[in-house]
Structure 1
Amino acid sequence: MNNILKTFILLAALTGLFLVVGQAIGGRQGAILALVIAGFMNFFAYWFSDRLALAMSGAQPVSPSQAPELHAIVERLARTAGIPKPRVYIIPTQTPNAFATGRNPSHAAVAVTEGILHILDWNELEGVLAHELAHIKNRDVLISSVAAVIAGAISYLAQMAQWALIFGGFRRDEDDDVGGTIGAVVMMIIAPIAAALIQFAISRSREYLADATGAKICRCPMALASALKKLEEWNRRVPMQVNPAQAQMFIVNPLSGEALMRLFSTHPPIEDRVRRLVEMARSMGR
């Protein structure tokens, strides 16, 4: 399925889940309150996404004189992608990885670890950077923020329901006939899990799309495929010490040294990503 269409369907499913849960647990007033709270918190995270992500990772800015080859690759790929050149950062860790952040292409940054500069050749590094610029071009920070707002609102509704249950039951609108207390309790348990699963699925679909877009930008799907295999191997051996909430930003899961179920992973399996890139290379005659 086309990844853009898949993302739209998943966002629609997440929105539908919120509407159902809102009526079942909090009624209209509770649903609106949860959405406002989640929206406010995630808007702050979205607006300052670049500063927060860079600070949490310990990334340091580098100038063109400090890393001329790295800046040259980013500038060339940004020109091909049709976006402004993002700011360039290096993360002082030997585990190879990379991420992009920023609320829009005009306020974006790309960060790579010191380790990735040591283990990848220049073609593979171009593939990785093209993938990250694809995230910027596709406005994935915005899409992930929208998903986080809705999923967060569902979680808030579940928490509100828990407190309501503790202190005397659910307060519902008089004209609200959807479900009962048992249904609301079931929703309280299942809804946050379902919302998280949909949010993770959206993240995985955007990774597939960034792979495809990035391969077109660098015009070499096999370079990105080769880089992904190297990065996966290194991150299994030497996982990065990062906040789990930040793991979805990186090109490969920095927590892949831990056992993660596929449904609860923010990244698609590397073998699936590589297979798609190989098929893409064949279709391009490469």
Structure 2
Amino acid sequence: MHQEHNIPWLTAASHFKFIRNNPQRTPRQTGLFARNHPRQTEDLNHFSRVFAQTIATFSQTERAKHLESFPSPSTGKLFSDDFRDRYPEYLNKDNQLIEYWISRAKYGDAYQEGPYYNTSEGDLSDVVKILMNESQLPTLLMLARHPQIPLRYLLNLSWGHHFGFSRVAETAMGLYIFFNFASAADILRGGEYLEIDRYRRILHSSVQSMDYCAQQLPHRAFFGWSNQRLPPARVQVHGDLNRLQEYLKELFRLLYQYDIVIRECGVDPEWESVIISAFRYDVFRGLKINYGQHPLEFI
């Protein structure tokens, strides 16, 4: 498990049981199912709070390594030509320029104060994802602070599916929680996790092609996605646990660097909500959440 000295994976995982072809489900399903122990709600809320605080702590430590404030240039390059040429599908001579980002900002909407972006700027959101994937924090911090570049509007963009740069955190969180829980529940080393239908789902959602999908690149690289196919040996991650551990470190880095950027934009990352969504949609079966309760009730 990654960050097991900070995040109570074992406590949270103790509330779930691996069941093959669960007869209580129609059709029968294989996965991690809630045990519904009396302390379930208390322990899972505690887990979410501690996990969120761990991300915030790493975020604060990393942020302190960079300048407190940044200039707001009106012209110039965001990244080098060599960097641009590594990602020809996403980066080009236009979006390499600060003035281009400024020119794409919109004004005059009665519901928006100052400049804003909308779904027509999905290509700029992909640039942000590339910069996050490559840990280009100084550039991201400058963009987040720039008064003429409304970066926060690229966070949540959607039509049919969403493609804002919040997808960086959403995808990383689902995979990070899945593999750490598989380890904590002792279904990783023996390969039992491969039988879980939600593993197939999370794999597909992390590598599939879609509009503005730069957030998929680190996951495609890890799982060997090529020609719309996943090599079985790469999907069986327990075959190289050291490689998996490095991947988990990368996922965690994406989480805390995302935290840095959106806080710089003045946005609350709402990690507990992101964590709970990963619980519900990416990992567990039989876990119902009463959103009317605070703290959340897991039933």
TM-score w.r.t. the length of structure 1 is 0.31
More helix as a share of residues: 1
What TM-score results when the alignment is normalised by the length of structure 2? 0.30
